[in-house]
Structure 1
Amino acid sequence: MPTRTLAGRGRRFAAALLLLAALAVFAHPRIEAAGDALARIDKAALAKLTLDEVEGLRSVLELRASWLVAGPLATLERLARAGIPVEVIDRDPAARWFEVTIGPEPKGDSRRPPLADARGREVPQLAPVPLEQGVWITAAVDQAAGPSTMPGSRVIRVSAAGGPALAVAAQRVIQRVPAARAEVRDDPRIAALAAEVSPDRLRTSVEALQSFQTRDATTTGALSAANFLYDYFRGLGLATRYEDFTFPGTIDGVRVTGLPATNIVVTIPGSVSPDQVVVVGAHYDSFGREQTRVFAPGADDNGSGTAALMEIARLLARGPFDFSVRIVAFGAEEYGLHGSRAHATAARAAGERILAVLNLDMIGYTDRVPEDLDVVVDTASEWLGSRYIAVADKYAPLPIARRLDPLLRASDHAPFWDNGYHAMLGIEDAVLNNPYYHRATDRVETLNFDFAAGVVRATLAVAADLAQPSRAPAPPVGPSARTGFLRSLLSRVKLTELAWSPPSDRAAVGYHVYRSPTPHGTYQRVTGSPVTATSFTDRVTSAADQVAYYVVTAVDGAGRESNYSVEVDDGTIRR
């Protein structure tokens, strides 16, 4: 959705932003460099830095032209002294949550209690601070507090605690790596699976979900829908579990905390590296503006996305794949992305290796024909948008519009971004054009199931491509990477030592090593002929500071080459 402009406030905004920048830059040398701070840095300024210079900084929120970061005051002070415009917003960010508002300047709310931290100590209020045109930041009571902004605004709640390393989230910006079109290997098994997607089955599934009358997360209808999905996936012979959580919601105008909800989590285990996971997700709950707890059919939002999960699970259950596929039906999305946040937060805490998240939300309504699918990504996930388009072009062509917009966060991909995972949103229109949205008229007869089937074919193909249909010979196990540098007055050479273990089928007689400047990008082979050892040293004499990503393949006695191994970066990013 486009950022709203502040009509009549442009001069005020510009003056405030210039004053804030001046105060931040010139005040840094005088502040005591102790503890952490919340700050804003322009993306243009980040492009002048190195990965080493942003070590210790964490990504809080990517904006369109800048980045909210948190980290040691000493690091921010050093950058300011080096001429990098760093705008310090708060010097005790761990004590509270923040609201980033897109739209008009937020106003105070006298109904709110004074801010307090977890120990009950009063926390000073933060007046609205402009971040970018039409984007503001203020303090929030907590993650679950109600909005305090003007109607027509969008609110994002963020915390400065945790968050992925800025060097990881902003690597493409810092290193000025151009987006590359993904290379897709042809696999007739993926084409065959995509061809079996049935528009009629999608319609039947949406009709079944609509029959619950409402799937509002505060009602028993949501629980009944969850049980229906659990039984469906179990009926496919798939490992299925409930993932329970609680969330705050509103019942008859009363704010209630601790409401129970659940995600339905389905796993198709990988045959080679099951710890590598491709997630396909969609929320199954619904919401209505009229009588949400009585009748909110939610055919498009998000019966269409949930039906896609059911069809994708049915077909991918045939497997096998090198990596695991996880199907997740998220609960309580409509009340604040609670199901996906619970899942993504738990995954990060457990150190799960999620390769990519494909989130589908509203994929059935067409305001025109042919309709295109909007694929929304942030900077770190841009490779995933490129890969989605490339795979779809090969196996399930349909019009796709890629949107790089980190502020389009009103669906279940956003918590995965916040936890450092690569994720994308597939939606019929990022700027919603469905007149039945959140209304009792969002019914099955308003949907175009031929369009929905095209989206499901493309998404199934992308999930299968990322998980890799298993084939002989098996890929190597690993690899691991270690990088060092050789420096002289005239050159700097990066040496990356790769090591791996033979594949499980022991069929390999040699190996090839591939390198890419972006995750899962277009790999270039760096071995002229297969190497027989289970190690290799790559020497890079140009762009020695650039991060490289590697995969290894096995070659058997018949000259057949395996799928790619697990991807590994060269270890130059400190996470």
Structure 2
Amino acid sequence: MKLFHLLLPVSVFLPLTLAAQTATPPTTPDPLILKMVGEVSAKNLEADIRKLVSFGTRHTLSDTKSKKRGIGASRRWVEEEFKKYSKASGGRLQVTQDTFTIKPDGRRINQPVLMANVMATLPGTDPTDTRVIIVSGHIDSRVSDVMNATADAPGANDDGSGTVAVMELARVMSKEKYPFTLVFVAVQGEEQGLYGSTHLAQRAKKEGWNLIAMLNNDIVGNSTGHDPEIKDATHLRVFSEGVPANETPEQAKLRRTLSNENDSPSRGLARYAQTVAKQYLPEHEVVLEYRPDRFLRGGDHTPFNQLGFTAVRFTEMNEDFTHQHQDLRTENGRAYGDTPEGVDYEYLRKNTGVNLSTMASLALAPAAPENVGVLTADLTNRTQLKWDAPKLGERPAGYYVLMRETSAPQWQKNFFVTDTKADLPYSKDNFIFGVVSVDAEGHESLPVLPNPVR
């Protein structure tokens, strides 16, 4: 990715020359990523949504045997589409339905249900690089009554939009090669209780996946909000947790000492996506939402956060709740229900591009630095940092030390070094620092914040 950091004018920033500094990697957009973003098709996205809607309902408790209606037919169709992409990729894309059984829960599951996540896995070219990225949308839909498994539930935007975005990402990205594994998945059971994503998160934890990022797309296709009426096709929200859900008492003590509750790994991923979008979709803005999800709500990234993984949620800027969880009807001249006519396919194309540029930028980047620390033994107005080179993948061409004021939402300045240490004429008391690995083409890892070391 050739990540570009905004260099904002701050009067206290001093000129800096580092002895280990060499030619800085390019910050121009990567032609390959630009090409892939350009291949995302609004026409394909619309056709795929209309096909999903044609199955009538995709309720988790709906028919699994019919070839034309219900969750079973829709899962098989997505699987077959993934197989088409696999053929185009030379068979590298591995397609499966990951099945699991959920017992009655006394809430939204009233009988044993065999569920399935439809997965397309693109293995990396480096067998020693264990990193994994997941992108997801949920295939199931619902109407007003969450237990109504027979009524038509189009689910065009919630979450047909997220599902077809994942499909389009798999179609475009599987044509290229990346050092490590990418997983494209349509999960089931979100509306009944995040069952598909919980199963996948637990599987990743049990099998020890080195999951560096999980991107959840839920309700990403509508550009017109209701109550109030707002038309906005240029903004996309990204939600990220602050304090990690699985924080230990020791980690909580360190966080309180450093006051770095705004720098969780998930929040770092959200900032990364925002910065990437500025470069690859310059007229489309990712808006940072400093909450794990919408007010008092949750999504398929939530189980991943709960198990300690770095995960975020993308959602349209202004929702129309007359199109979510609604029976198909007309009241006082307003149509209710989640139909294809409520989706802005050009807006969905751009949101899919945000996902693609984020995934591809990370997938082409070196692994993040390890054991990043800030020296605290001496009382000084300088900041001394040190770290270890990553053990996975190719060795980075160098590192960026990122810096911002403690009140700033985004990184403001960076310094390129080729060594695994840096001595900066800026006080560690006044700024927040991070370190990223970068290759010769400018692709950057996620940032790692330093811990105090003596």
Q: TM-score, normalised by structure 2?
A: 0.69
Q: Is the 8 A contact 1:366 1:448 kept in 2?
A: yes
Cα 1:569/1:192, change in 2 over 3 Å? same
1:256 aligns with: 110
Q: Is the 8 A contact 1:478 1:501 kept in 2?
A: no
- Residue 563 of structure 1 deviates from its aligned partner by 3.8
Q: Residues of 2 paired with 1:199 and 1:437: CA distance?
A: 25
Alignment of 1:294-305 (within 5 A): 294-305=151-162
Q: Is the 8 A contact 1:277 1:354 kept in 2?
A: yes
2:184 aligns with: 327
1:413 aligns with: 301
1:339 aligns with: 196
2:352 aligns with: 456
CA RMSD of aligned residues (A): 3.7
- Residue 407 of structure 1 deviates from its aligned partner by 5.3
- Residue 403 of structure 1 deviates from its aligned partner by 1.9
Cα 1:224/1:401, change in 2 over 3 Å? same
Q: Residues of 2 paired with 1:309 and 1:395: CA distance?
A: 18
Q: Residues of 1 paired with 2:430 and 2:241: CA distance?
A: 23
Q: Is the 8 A contact 1:479 1:566 kept in 2?
A: no
Structure 1 unmatched runs, 5+: 1-182, 470-474, 555-559
1:443 lines up with 2:364 in the alignment: no
Greater Cα shift, 223-232 or 201-210: 223-232
Structure 2 unmatched runs, 5+: 1-25, 65-69, 87-92, 225-229, 243-263, 329-336, 405-409
Cα 1:491/1:324, change in 2 over 3 Å? same
| Equivalent AA in structure 1 for residue 85 of structure 2 | L
1:284 lines up with 2:284 in the alignment: no
Question: SS of the counterpart of 2:231?
Answer: coil
Question: SS of the counterpart of 1:410?
Answer: coil
More strand as a share of residues: 1
Q: Is the 8 A contact 1:481 1:569 kept in 2?
A: no
Q: Residues of 1 paired with 2:400 and 2:105: CA distance?
A: 52
Q: Is the 8 A contact 2:157 2:219 kept in 1?
A: yes
1:496 aligns with: 386
Alignment of 1:370-389 (within 5 A): 370-371=232-233, 372-379=235-242, 380=264, 381-389=266-274
2:57 aligns with: 214
Cα 1:243/1:543, change in 2 over 3 Å? same
1:243 aligns with: 98
Q: Residues of 2 paired with 1:214 and 1:462: CA distance?
A: 32
Number of equivalences: 369
Cα 1:501/1:345, change in 2 over 3 Å? closer
Q: What do the CA deviations read for 1:339-390 (whole angstroms, capped 9, x no partner)?
A: 1111112223333222222211122233243333232222222233322222
Higher relative contact order (CA 8 A, sep 6+): 2
| Equivalent AA in structure 2 for residue 356 of structure 1 | A
- Residue 543 of structure 1 deviates from its aligned partner by 2.4
1:270 aligns with: 124
1:232 lines up with 2:88 in the alignment: no
Q: Residues of 2 paired with 1:514 and 1:565: CA distance?
A: 10
Q: Is the 8 A contact 2:143 2:153 kept in 1?
A: yes
Q: What do the CA deviations read for 1:195-228 (whole angstroms, capped 9, x no partner)?
A: 1221111111011111111111112221222222
2:16 aligns with: none
Q: Is the 8 A contact 1:223 1:261 kept in 2?
A: no
Alignment of 1:72-471 (within 5 A): 186-219=29-62, 220=64, 221-237=70-86, 238-248=93-103, 256-272=110-126, 274-289=129-144, 291-367=148-224, 368-371=230-233, 372-379=235-242, 380=264, 381-396=266-281, 397-406=283-292, 408=294, 409-429=297-317, 432-435=320-323, 437-440=325-328, 441-468=337-364
Cα 1:377/1:488, change in 2 over 3 Å? closer
Q: Residues of 2 paired with 1:451 and 1:442: CA distance?
A: 17
- Residue 486 of structure 1 deviates from its aligned partner by 6.8
Structure whose CA Rg is larger: 1
Alignment of 1:21-60 (within 5 A): none
Q: Is the 8 A contact 1:298 1:438 kept in 2?
A: no
Cα 1:184/1:323, change in 2 over 3 Å? farther
Q: Percent identity?
A: 25
Cα 1:201/1:553, change in 2 over 3 Å? closer
| Equivalent AA in structure 2 for residue 405 of structure 1 | R
